[in-house]
Amino acid sequence: MKKFFNEDLIKILISIVLFISSLFIEENEIKLAFLATSYAIISTGIYINAYNHIKKKIFFNENLLMIIATLCAFAIANNEEAVMVMLLFQVGEYFSHLAVHNSKKSITKLMDLRVDTANLLVDNEIVEVKVKDVEENDILLVKPGEKIPLDGVVIEGESHLDTSSLTGESKPRSVNKDDKVLSGCINKEGVLTIKATSTYKTSTAARILEIIEKSPSKKADTEKFITKFSKVYTPIVIISAILLTVIPVLFGQKFKVWFYRALVFLVTSCPCALVISIPLAYFCGIGRASKEGILIKGSKELENLQSLDYVVLDKTGTITEGVFEVTKVFPVAMKENKFLQLAASAEQYSLHPIALAIKEKNEEKLLEAEKYKDMSGKGISCEVKGKKILVGNEMLMKENKVMTLPISETGTVIHVAIDKEYAGYLVISDKIKKSSLRITELLKYIKKELIIISGDIESVVQKVAKKVGINTYYAEMLPEDKVDKVKEYKKNGKVLFAGDGVNDAPVLKISDIGVSMGQVGSDAAIEASDVVIMKDDLSKIKTAIIISNITKKKVIQTIVFALLVKLVVLILGALGLSTIWMAVFADVGVTFLCILNVLTILWKKLDK
C-alpha cells in the first residue's frame, strides 16, 4: 500500500513540473508536447480504471466522466484546463485514498489481535513455531509484553493482562493458575505457561478478525441505494451533458459556449463524494465500536441500531451476573449431603450456570446417571441407581404430577423429585450487574419500551424488573416462548434482543438485532448474534446505539452537503457563471471535505 502511494505521488509531482514548465513556453508545439506528456502521466490510472470497468460491463463511472470531460476540453483547445482538471482530480483522489487508507489502518490497529508465532514448550525447551501449527492441548510459554497466541488455560504463573483490544477495558485483568485466557490479550508482567484450548482458526482473535474483515460486505440500505444511484446517475449525466450542448446549438446558440458549459456539468456531476465517503462512514462506525469493546458484524446492523422500537433483555447473564451459588438446601427426608449428591449427579452433563452451581456445592462423588434427558427451560430427567430423578423448576414438577411445597424465597428455586415423590429444593441466587441499574437510560434512545423475558419463576423476575426499573416482564418462558414473544413485538417495530448467546441463540437469530452479552469466545454467541459485547457490560448497548446515531448523522450530512454544492455549481454552470475550476472543487474538494467529516466518527466524544 505504501508503495502504491509513493508511485502515485511521484506521478503527480512529475505531472505538476511538466504543467508549470509549459506555462513558460511560447512555442505552441513544444508547449502542447509538455501538456500532453503531463496529461498522459497523470491520467494513465484513470484510463486503466475505465477500461477495467468496461470489461466488467460497467460502462458508466466517474473515470469515464473525467476522460470525456478532459478530451472534450482538448477538442476546443482548452489544453491547460484539460490537464489541470485531470491533475486536480488525481490530487484529490490521492488525498482521498490516503485518508481512507489511514482510517483503515487506525481501525486495524484497534483490532490488532494477530499473533504470527508462539513459544511452544517441547521437553522443557522453547521452540518458536507458527501459530497456525499449534494444536489443542499444546503447552505454550507467553513472556511479558507478548500477545497470547491462542485461547487457553493458565497452568503455571500469574500476571495482569491488557484486554483492551477485546473488551475496550483499559484496566488490566489479573490471571492466575486455572484461569482462562483469550488470544489477542497482552501479557503485561509475569511469565505464563498456557495449555491451548483452541487452534488458530477457532481462536477468539481469528473469529473476531474474520468478522471485522467481512463487515464491509454486509451493506447498509443507504450504501445499497448509493450504489444503485450511481449506476443510473452516470448515464443520465452524460446524456444531459450532450443535450445541454445540442439543444441550444439547434436554436442558434454558439457551440463552443455551450460545449464548455457541458464540460463544467460533467466534471461537477461526478458522484465520488458519495461513493467513497458513505461506505467509509459505516466502516469508521464499526471501527469506533470495536474500540469501545463492541463487535458489530456489518454496516446494515450498525444502521439498524439507530431505529429501534423495543429492547428485549434476557435476565440471567444479561441483567444479572449469571454467576450462581447455592444459598439454601432443603431436603425433605434425607441428609443434606446425599440430597446434594443426587441433584449434582443428575446435573453432571449440563453446562447451565445453575447446574454448575449445584455441582460446585456438592462435595460427594458423582453417581452414574442413565437415560439422561435435558428439557430446555424446565430441567433434567434421568435415572440414578435405578431411581427416576427429576431436577428442575415448578413446570417440570407439574408435568410429572409432583406436589411441591409453597416457597417464598429470594432467588431461583430448583425442585428435586425421586420416583415422582417430592424430595426437597435448592435456592440459587444471582446478583444484578451494576451496569443493569442504569438500563432505563436506554429509553432515551428507543421509540417504545424495555422488556425482560426469562425462564425463571415470576417472583424472581418481578423483583429483578422492579430493581432495574423495567415495567414490562415475562417469566417462566421456554426458548420457543421467547421466540414467539419477540416475533409478536416485531409486528409493531424493530426489536433488539440481548441474551447470553448460548441458550438464547434462536431468539438472537430472529431479532432485528441480536446482541450477545459477556460470552467472549463462545461460538454460539459470535454465530447467532449481530452484535457481540466483548465486556460483560449492559451499558455498551447504549454506546452502540450512540455510535449508530453519530454514523447516520454523518451520512446524512455527507449526502446533503455533496448534493447541495453540486446543485449550486450545476445551476451556475448552466447559466455560464461557473468555470471548470469551480466544477473541480464541486467534485474533488467536496469529496475530500466529506471524507474528513466522516473520519471524525473515530474520535468524536460519546454521550456517556
pLDDT of residue 112: 59
What are the structural domains of the chain? 325-429 (3.40.1110.10)
Tell me which H or E stretch contains 107.
helix 79-110
**pTM of this structure:** 0.69
What is the average per-residue pLDDT within 275-284? 81
What is the average per-residue pLDDT within 199-211? 70
pLDDT of residue 324: 80
Distance from C-alpha of 97 to C-alpha of 90, rounded to nearest angstrom: 10
pLDDT of residue 4: 46
pLDDT of residue 330: 93
b/e map 260-292, b = 16+ CB within 10 Å: bbbbbbbbbbbbbbbbbbbbbbbbbbbbbbbbb
Provide the 10 A C-beta neighbour count for residue 24.
Answer: 8
pLDDT of residue 82: 80
Tell me which H or E stretch contains 76.
none
Distance from C-alpha of 137 to C-alpha of 495, rounded to nearest angstrom: 41
Which residue type, as a one-letter code, is found at position 559? I
Integer angstrom CA distances of residue 316 from 229, 324, 465, 482: 46, 10, 12, 14
With contact defined as beta carbons under 8 Å apart, do 286 and 212 qualify?
yes
What is the average per-residue pLDDT within 447-474? 89
b/e map 180-190, b = 16+ CB within 10 Å: ebbbbbbbeeb
Q: Could you give the residue numbers annotated as active site?
A: 314
With contact defined as beta carbons under 8 Å apart, do 204 and 183 qualify?
yes
Distance from C-alpha of 421 to C-alpha of 443, rounded to nearest angstrom: 47
Spell out the residues 6+ positions from residue 128 whose beta carbon is closer than 8 angstroms to its own.
117, 118, 119, 120
Tell me which H or E stretch contains 581.
helix 580-584
Weakest-pLDDT range from 51-65, 426-440, 475-489, 491-505: 51-65
Instruction: Give the residue among 431, 420, 432 at the shortest CA–CA distance from 389.
Output: 420
Burial class (CB in 10 A: 0-12, 13-18, 19+), 21: middle
What is the average per-residue pLDDT within 355-367? 91
What is the average per-residue pLDDT within 470-489? 89
Spell out the residues 6+ positions from residue 124 whose beta carbon is closer than 8 angstroms to its own.
none
Instruction: Give the residue among 361, 338, 442, 425 at the shortest CA–CA distance from 390.
Output: 425
Weakest-pLDDT range from 200-214, 385-399, 433-447: 200-214
Residue-wise pLDDT for 491-509, tens only, equals: 999 999 998 755 677 888 8
With contact defined as beta carbons under 8 Å apart, do 544 and 296 qualify?
yes
